Amino acid sequence: MGAITIQRKKREEVDLSKYQDVWIVAEIKDGNIRNVSFELLGKAKELASELQQKACVLLLGDNVKKFTQEFSSRGANKIYIAEHGALKDYYTETYSSVITGIISKYNPNIVLYPATINGRDLAPRVAATLELGLTADCTGLSIRDGLLLQTRPAFGGNIMADIICPATRPQMATVRPNVMEMAPIQDGNNAEIIEVPVKVDLQSLKVKTKEVIRGTAAECGIPVCEADTIVSGGRGVGNKENFKLIEDLANVLNAAVGASRAAVDLGWIPKSQQVGQSGNTVSPKIYIACGISGTIQHLVGMKSSDIIIAINKDPNAAIFQFANYGIVGDLCEILPLLTKTLEKKLSEN
């Protein structure tokens, strides 16, 4: 007892009443709004209406004013725009310093970030700078007694933890793509537009972006988070060479290639394609699980897919309990047949 003590600064009392509205930090990628931004807006509207506050969007970037209409038509009440040439590409230092300035100026009650690569980098920076709490990877958000109840899996997915942040504002969370419903388009909404002046001291930046080099198509393929169809392979694929069977079917269906963590850990496919609790949450129209047993950690990442098709040689595999269609057999025999048949059918149409 007493071997370790943590000394914390005494926190000043915060006047919580001056913090209003539910904000989302929108993400633009390759000149388009990422769908996760609309998903966050859908949740923000719900939370804001319960709190009788406004749902607001924070848009950062270069030349992003053109995106305001899309957020307005999906029901945003206010859109804050921070434009600057230095915000053209995401960079931790510029984005976090601009956002911390804006949060300190406008005092939002809640700020939601996408749990994307950028959002997962940005939100903790902002939280640490402003000495706030942050709940990562929330799968549920609601209001209880006026506070944001942030729900996320804990202890390897064995429990769902509810987290609140009673003493500081804003309350902040990151939310995985494909977990929340997108805010629907509604006619006749006119969001208030607020242009926020941005100052960036270009000389003081430690890192300058000279060029953005994207991975090759072979490396990246279609991102699983954004695909309508995903063909996923697990340990049952057997070896790295056999993953070509998954890729061949994916190519015919114009689908993304996904994987279980076992396949990723075996080095058969990059981590970016992993589906599940410690990978991506996906919600495609069709999810084809090949040689994947269906553990809870995989299922949480894909069970909201519209149609699940499982190929597994074990008729008792757990995945079949969640699949709409199941094929019992060896994927090394089934996949080439399926690919060939679909190729033929699709070329006839």
Ligand X SMILES: Cc1cc2nc3c(=O)[nH]c(=O)nc-3n(C[C@H](O)[C@H](O)[C@H](O)COP(=O)(O)OP(=O)(O)OC[C@H]3O[C@@H](n4cnc5c(N)ncnc54)[C@H](O)[C@@H]3O)c2cc1C
Please state the closest distance from residue 47 (CB atom) to ligand X, in A: 27
Query: Residues with Cβ < 8 Å from 338, sequence gap 6 or more?
Result: 249
Lookup: tokens for 123 = 């939100």
C-alpha closest to that of 281 among 302, 297, 262, 260: 302
Lookup: tokens for 299 = 């299922």
Cβ proximity to ligand X, 119 vs 276, nearer residue: 276
Say if residues 26 and 48 touch (Cβ distance below 8 Å): no
- Dist CA 304 CA 278 (whole Å): 16
Phi/psi at 191 (5° precision) = -75, 145
Please state the closest distance from residue 332 (CB atom) to ligand X, in A: 6
Cβ proximity to ligand X, 189 vs 325, nearer residue: 325
Query: Residues with Cβ < 8 Å from 129, sequence gap 6 or more?
Result: 96, 100
Please state the closest distance from residue 45 (CB atom) to ligand X, in A: 29
Please state the closest distance from residue 114 (CB atom) to ligand X, in A: 18
C-alpha closest to that of 116 among 57, 172, 58, 176: 176
- Dist CA 302 CA 292 (whole Å): 12
DSSP three-state, residue 334: helix
Cβ proximity to ligand X, 75 vs 114, nearer residue: 114
Cβ proximity to ligand X, 114 vs 279, nearer residue: 279
The residues binding ligand X (CB under 6 A) are 156, 234-236, 238, 260-263, 274-279, 291-293, 295, 297-298, 301, 311-314, 317, 330-332
Cβ proximity to ligand X, 133 vs 238, nearer residue: 238
Say if residues 95 and 123 touch (Cβ distance below 8 Å): no
Cβ proximity to ligand X, 204 vs 239, nearer residue: 239
Please state the closest distance from residue 318 (CB atom) to ligand X, in A: 8
Please state the closest distance from residue 298 (CB atom) to ligand X, in A: 3
DSSP three-state, residue 335: helix
Amino acid at 54: K
Please state the closest distance from residue 67 (CB atom) to ligand X, in A: 31
- Dist CA 303 CA 53 (whole Å): 33
- Dist CA 32 CA 321 (whole Å): 37
Cβ proximity to ligand X, 141 vs 275, nearer residue: 275
The DSSP bridge partners found for residue 158 are none
Please state the closest distance from residue 292 (CB atom) to ligand X, in A: 4
Cβ proximity to ligand X, 3 vs 155, nearer residue: 155
Say if residues 137 and 154 touch (Cβ distance below 8 Å): no
Please state the closest distance from residue 103 (CB atom) to ligand X, in A: 31
Cβ proximity to ligand X, 202 vs 337, nearer residue: 337
Q: What order of strands is seen across the sheet that includes strand 22-25?
A: 135-138, 171-175, 110-114, 22-25, 55-61, 78-83, 192-195
